[in-house]
Chains A and B, each alone.
Chain A
Amino acid sequence: MTGVSVSSLTKAYGALRVLHDIDLDVQPGEFTVLLGPSGCGKSTLLSAIAGLDEIDGGTITIAGEDVTEREPSQRGIAMVFQSYALYPTMTVRGNMSFGLRVKRLSAAEIASRVAWAADLLQLTALLERKPGQLSGGQRQRVAIGRALVQRARLFLFDEPLSNLDAKLRTEMRVEIKKLHKELGMTIVYVTHDQIEAMTLATRIAVMRGGKIEQYAAPDELYERPATLFVAGFVGAPAMNFLPGIVRAGHVEIDSLSLPLDRVAVAGPVADGTKVILGVRPEHIGLADDGAPGVVVEAATDFLEPMGADTLGWFSVGRHRISARLAPQRARSVSGLVRLALDLRHASLFDADSECRY
């Protein structure tokens, strides 16, 4: 069992600073997901942990040992790449055993590890094939198998599922989760897909512009986003944002005035502060059906059926907000309605610093 600890990590490509003073602590056995939009530095951070790119500052510790100066192969890691990076001229068996042969393991040991991983991933029948003769999902499993045979202390995944179609992605997600549960290895996993992050992670580090905005468990992240960016990035459909000003214990949003005491904030907010109130669509309901919360008048704009529920779009003053409604009920929604905003689950952000109160 192995933890990873990254401290004060910085990295620049020429004048472009890609990672700003990153600190990250991954506990042994943890499944940490690095989540963020494309180009925010996730892969760079993962490469730094792997030792594939030189870094400009900071230290990386794996299992309590400072590995900052070590070779990738000396760090006790295994890695799965976005393009799978299978060696095209080698068979599946060759791909899985290459690293072990480089490390001069005995033939018997190599054979038994490959057999074990192939069995675990249902690759036994495919061992003599070349990557070109495999489907996308099979290649993905080979890439994971190649990592598994290393018996590494730490697994690094860089967007491993992003080249698969939607159905396979779901299946592989389940398999990866199962592997983690059965084998209990430490995983650092990069993705830009928040559903993948929410379903897999024990903790998610949300990144933006080379910084970690919040590092927390999925529930915490969803319910108590630390910044406006995290609040907007996590959750689909996205959180509603209503800009306003704090006056006398209320948030004033245009002509609306919502009582602040219902919102769970850490401390008092000074009068005159510009804030942004965030409410998730599932915390907005129809007051006439008995939904809890502060009631506001709204005009129905349009409805988006999404299957399990329907997203209703409403105008509240100058703002447009969305609410998650039951499909049967939504069919009869039109014209003016009374919406209930459940402020107990709402988040309040400072408009300037974009941080949560």
Chain B
Amino acid sequence: MRRNAKWLSAARIGLYAFLVISAAFFLLPLYVMLVTSLKGMPEIREGNMLSLPHAPTVAAWVKAWSSACTGLSCNGIQVGFLNSLKILFPSVTMSIAVGAVTGYALSLWRPRGAAWLFGILMAVAFVPYQVFLFPLVRMFSYVGLNSSLPGIIVVHTIFGLPTMTLIFRNYFAGIPLELIKAARVDGAGFWRIFGAIMLPMAVPIIVVAIILQVTGIWNDFIFGLVFAGRENFPMTVQLNNIVNSTQGEREYNVDMAATILTALVPLGVYFISGRWFVRGIAAGAVKG
């Protein structure tokens, strides 16, 4: 323990003061969104954005959920919510499945072409998506995937591949080689070893992958915008459309309620997963 000398306690007061002010800065936007969403429009126009609502009302939340307008349709953000769910589950499953198998094959089996494949995957992790978008749109149109649910799912699988492969490869590379040898002496082959030995051992990294992909795919905007099609716009795209829809007066309370609703899933993942969240992001960042 550090000694509690007098000059130190002064330093500690400064330390706590800075931490508290920082915390306030980080909480401010969330607080403002929340109080705004609970106010009526007159109060927002006249009052102070920081003040608590005089008469809290969930009217804005109800409207945001079920009847806010994007362009011509007025069905609220719930449409986007459902779309995001429809995109989320298959995309997370597919991207993790492909990434896990690829990472496993790369780490433990040294197949032909492993080196260049891994090199390309790592390079792509840095490349701006804009480079791929137009050709991909054309290819998808050609095979009839454009503006469809399967299309956006495939896109999430494609662009989740580098990170998913990387974290699974790194995880599997840490597994002792003798385990594979033992399984081979036992007569197990590639898929058997994967299913019976590797996957059960990979539960922690699968959790990390799920956290990473759920937040990543839920928060995606650009792929949803380009590949999902109007019918399947995810929540983020829907939110942006609601906020920027030009009909009538801007309703800040509805906008903020819709914004919070959109943030709810990743926030939930974050608060439930705790320190795993950081582990996941860091795992995805350590290349090579």
What residues make up the interface of A, taking CB atoms closer than 8 Å to B? Answer: 47, 50, 52, 71-73, 77-79, 81-83, 85-90, 98-99, 102-103, 146
Closest to A100 in B: B186
Q: Is the CB of B201 within 8 A of A89?
A: yes
Q: Is B138 an interface residue (CB 8 A)?
A: no
Q: Is the CB of A103 within 8 A of B178?
A: no
Give the distance in Å from the alpha carbon of A47 to the alpha carbon of B185 in the complex: 10
5 A–B pairs (Cβ distance < 8 Å), ordered by A? A47-B181, A72-B187, A85-B176, A98-B186, A98-B196
Give the distance in Å from the alpha carbon of A313 to the alpha carbon of B196 in the complex: 59
Q: Is the CB of A99 within 8 A of B185?
A: yes
Give the distance in Å from the alpha carbon of A82 to the alpha carbon of B178 in the complex: 8
Q: A79-B181, A82-B178, A83-B178 are in contact. Are A103 and B187 (CB under 8 A)?
A: yes
- Residues on A with C-beta less than 8 A from B279 are none
Q: Is the CB of A89 within 8 A of B200?
A: yes
Q: Is the CB of B187 within 8 A of A79?
A: no
- Residues on B with C-beta less than 8 A from A73 are 184-188
Q: Is B131 an interface residue (CB 8 A)?
A: no
Q: Is B179 an interface residue (CB 8 A)?
A: yes
Q: Is the CB of B178 within 8 A of A102?
A: no
Give the distance in Å from the alpha carbon of A146 to the alpha carbon of B188 in the complex: 14
Q: A73-B186, A73-B187, A99-B186 are in contact. Are A81 and B197 (CB under 8 A)?
A: no
Q: Is B120 an interface residue (CB 8 A)?
A: no
Give the distance in Å from the alpha carbon of A79 to the alpha carbon of B178 in the complex: 10
Q: Point out the residue from A71, A85, A89, A103 that lies within 8 Å of B182, measured CB to CB.
A: A85
In chain B, residues 174-224, which have Cβ atoms closer than 8 Å to a Cβ of chain A? Answer: 176, 178-179, 181-188, 192, 196-197, 200-201
- Besides A86-B182, A99-B186, 13 more A-B contacts (Cβ < 8 Å) are A47-B181, A72-B185, A73-B185, A73-B187, A79-B182, A83-B178, A85-B181, A88-B201, A99-B185, A102-B188, A102-B192, A146-B182, A146-B186
Q: A85-B178, A85-B179, A89-B197 are in contact. Are A102 and B186 (CB under 8 A)?
A: yes
Q: Is the CB of B182 within 8 A of A81?
A: yes
Give the distance in Å from the alpha carbon of A102 to the alpha carbon of B193 in the complex: 10
Q: Is the CB of B197 within 8 A of A72?
A: no
Q: Is the CB of B201 within 8 A of A81?
A: no
Q: Point out the residue from B179, B184, B185, B187 that lies within 8 Å of A87, measured CB to CB.
A: B179
Q: Is the CB of A77 within 8 A of B200?
A: no
- Residues on B with C-beta less than 8 A from A77 are 185
A5 to chain B, nearest CB (A): 20
B198 to chain A, nearest CB (A): 10
Q: How many residues of B contact A (CB 8 A)?
A: 16
Interface contacts (Cβ under 8 Å), in number, total: 59
- Residues on A with C-beta less than 8 A from B176 are 83, 85
Give the distance in Å from the alpha carbon of A87 to the alpha carbon of B220 in the complex: 38
Q: Is the CB of A52 within 8 A of B185?
A: yes
Q: Is the CB of B185 within 8 A of A78?
A: yes
Most chain B CB inside 10 Å of its own CB: which residue of A47, A87, A146: A87
- Residues on A with C-beta less than 8 A from B200 are 89-90
A147 to chain B, nearest CB (A): 9
- Residues on B with C-beta less than 8 A from A90 are 200
B204 to chain A, nearest CB (A): 12
Give the distance in Å from the alpha carbon of A326 to the alpha carbon of B187 in the complex: 55
Q: Is the CB of A102 within 8 A of B197?
A: no
Give the distance in Å from the alpha carbon of A349 to the alpha carbon of B134 in the complex: 79
Closest to B176 in A: A83
Q: Is the CB of B178 within 8 A of A81?
A: yes
B39 to chain A, nearest CB (A): 53
- Residues on A with C-beta less than 8 A from B187 are 71-73, 99, 102-103
A328 to chain B, nearest CB (A): 49
Q: A81-B178, A87-B197, A89-B197 are in contact. Are A52 and B184 (CB under 8 A)?
A: yes
Q: Is the CB of A52 within 8 A of B181?
A: yes
B184 to chain A, nearest CB (A): 5
Most chain A CB inside 10 Å of its own CB: which residue of B183, B186, B188: B186
Closest to A77 in B: B185
- Residues on A with C-beta less than 8 A from B185 are 50, 52, 72-73, 77-79, 99
A323 to chain B, nearest CB (A): 43
B203 to chain A, nearest CB (A): 8
Closest to B180 in A: A85
A52 to chain B, nearest CB (A): 5
B190 to chain A, nearest CB (A): 12
Q: Point out the residue from A72, A88, A89 that lies within 8 Å of B184, measured CB to CB.
A: A72
B197 to chain A, nearest CB (A): 5
A24 to chain B, nearest CB (A): 20
- Residues on A with C-beta less than 8 A from B201 are 88-89
